[in-house]
């Protein structure tokens, strides 16, 4: 899978819970939420557009930051 990094304007635990909820509903994703830096890293077979649309369902401002190199 490709690892993608997104910016999501999360300010609290509730925001990150909303992100968790929509991504779990989408399915087929492994993700890490970095709340202090407002970043979500997603491992998925879904394309970037699908992931971005899903993140936007939280009602938060979301944008694609790029591919994350696997380390």
The predicted structure's pLDDT at residue 2: 72
The predicted structure's pLDDT at residue 68: 79
* Domain boundaries defined on the chain: 3-68
Residues of the chain with pLDDT under 50: none
Instruction: Specify burial of residue 62 (Cβ count, 10 A radius: 0-12, 13-18, 19+).
Output: buried
Decide: pTM greater than 0.85: yes
Q: What is the pLDDT of residues 25-42, one digit of tens each?
A: 999 999 999 999 999 999
The predicted structure's pLDDT at residue 46: 95
3-state secondary structure 31-46: EEEECCCCEEEEEECC
CA distance 71 to 51: 22
Are 30 and 43 spatial neighbours (Cβ–Cβ below 8 Å)?
yes
The predicted structure's pLDDT at residue 8: 98
How far CA 42 is from CA of 6, 20, in Å, comes to 8, 11
Fold classified for 3-68: Alpha-Beta Plaits (3.30.70)
């Amino acid at each position: 899978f490709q690892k993608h990094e997104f910016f999501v304007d999360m300010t609290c635990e509730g925001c990150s819970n909303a992100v968790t909820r929509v991504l779990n509903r989408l399915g087929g994703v492994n993700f890490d939420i970095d709340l202090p830096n407002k970043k979500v890293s997603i491992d998925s077979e879904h394309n970037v557009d699908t992931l971005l649309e899903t993140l936007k369902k939280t009602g938060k401002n979301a944008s694609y930051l790029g591919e994350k190199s696997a380390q």
